[in-house]
Amino acid sequence: MSGIMGSFSKEELEFTFLDEGFTAKDILDQKINEVSSSDDKDAFYVADLGDIVKKHMRWHKALPRVTPFYAVKCNDSEAVVKTLAVLGAGFDCASKTEIQLVQSIGVPPERIIYANPCKQLSQIKHAASSGVRMMTFDSEVELMKIARAHPKAKLVLRITTDDSKAVCRLSVKFGATLKTSRLLLERAKELDLAIVGVSFHVGSGCTDPETFVQAISDARCVFDMGG
Ligand SMILES: Cc1ncc(COP(=O)(O)O)c(C=O)c1O
């Protein structure tokens, strides 16, 4: 925690250390009382940043060679993003706005992936001018846009998964099949674009471990196709 405190002031992180004997629920009750007695009834939420730190440390212990890239869309509040930045996480940004947010707190471009497979040309240009090179793609149209606007990009090919067991299925709109992946790898080579990896999303709320096993095996297969 001292590393975190050294990088950002308490005010900057907008967090509160709980006094001895105080619980998050006490803070919540206090906040509800405050809001109820004022005219300012804006929505608010209370989050335990310590939980993020604990989960990050757990990840590191279990998967020391894997750097997590936090999907900013899940919660873009400054306190969350700053906490993860200080812990050394990478960031999965879906838009120019998210890239700007993460860069505004000093995250270097190498720790950012523009992980939207369907990007606007203007936003690809923004990534290029701000030094963000890693980005996902899943179609030839996307490769053409990147070749035009960001030829030095480091590409990650997003493949489909069998996400039929997920709460929110994402492979209905994103991801290339194994067959298409082979064609895309060839096309990228023709366009002289660098492919550095393969990605997938098992769907939001997927609790079936078999989906991950199959997706990892498919990713391996596509990775090997690329030589
Ligand atoms: C590339 C990428 N990363 C992360 C997420 C967030 O996924 P989840 O809602 O499962 O946390 C999404 C969802 O759209 C995504 O497309």
**E-assigned strands of the chain?**
69-71, 90-93, 112-114, 134-137, 154-159, 194-200
Q: What lines the ligand 1 site, CB under 6 Å? A: 71, 73-74, 92, 115, 170, 201, 204
The bridge status of strand 134-137 relative to strand 112-114 is parallel
Check: pTM over 0.85? Answer yes or no. yes
User: Does any domain span residue 20?
Assistant: no
pLDDT in tens, 146-172: 999 999 999 999 999 999 999 999 999
pLDDT in tens, 28-77: 888 888 888 888 777 777 788 889 999 999 999 999 999 999 999 999 99
User: Does any domain span residue 145?
Assistant: yes
| CATH code assigned at 163 | 3.20.20.10
Beta bridge partners of 90: 69
User: Does any domain span residue 190?
Assistant: yes
- Averaged pLDDT of the chain: 91
Whether the Cβ atoms of residue 181 and residue 161 lie closer than 8 Å to each other: no
Question: What is the pLDDT at residue 4?
Answer: 41
Question: What percentage of the chain reaches a pLDDT higher than 70?
Answer: 93
What's the whole-number mean pLDDT along residues 131-141? 98
What's the whole-number mean pLDDT along residues 3-26? 65
Write down the H helix ranges in 76-195: 78-87, 96-104, 121-129, 140-149, 178-190
Question: 132 is in which domain, residue-wise?
Answer: 115-226
What's the whole-number mean pLDDT along residues 127-156? 98
User: Does any domain span residue 8?
Assistant: no
Beta bridge partners of 154: 134, 194
Closest C-alpha to ligand 1, atom 9: 204
The alpha carbon of 136 and the centre of ligand 1 are apart by a number of angstroms equal to 13
The alpha carbon of 64 and the centre of ligand 1 are apart by a number of angstroms equal to 22
The bridge status of strand 194-200 relative to strand 90-93 is unpaired
**pLDDT surpassing 60 at residue 174:** yes
Whether the Cβ atoms of residue 50 and residue 17 lie closer than 8 Å to each other: no
Q: pLDDT-derived band of residue 18, with 50, 70 and 90 as boundaries?
A: confident
Residues with Cβ within 8 Å of 137's Cβ and at least 6 positions away in sequence, in order, are: 117, 143, 146, 155, 156, 157, 158, 184
The alpha carbon of 170 and the centre of ligand 1 are apart by a number of angstroms equal to 8
Question: What is the pLDDT at residue 28?
Answer: 84
Question: What is the pLDDT at residue 106?
Answer: 95
User: Does any domain span residue 148?
Assistant: yes
Lowest mean pLDDT among 21-25, 40-44, 179-183: 40-44
Question: What is the pLDDT at residue 135?
Answer: 98
Number of structural domains (the chain) is 1
Q: pLDDT-derived band of residue 1, with 50, 70 and 90 as boundaries?
A: very low
Beta bridge partners of 135: 114, 155
User: Does any domain span residue 174?
Assistant: yes
The alpha carbon of 210 and the centre of ligand 1 are apart by a number of angstroms equal to 19
User: Does any domain span residue 208?
Assistant: yes
Return contacts of 63-70, CB within 8 angstroms, 24+ apart: 69/111, 69/113, 69/115
3-state secondary structure of 93: strand
User: Does any domain span residue 161?
Assistant: yes
Q: Which residue has the tokens 């790898």?
A: 185
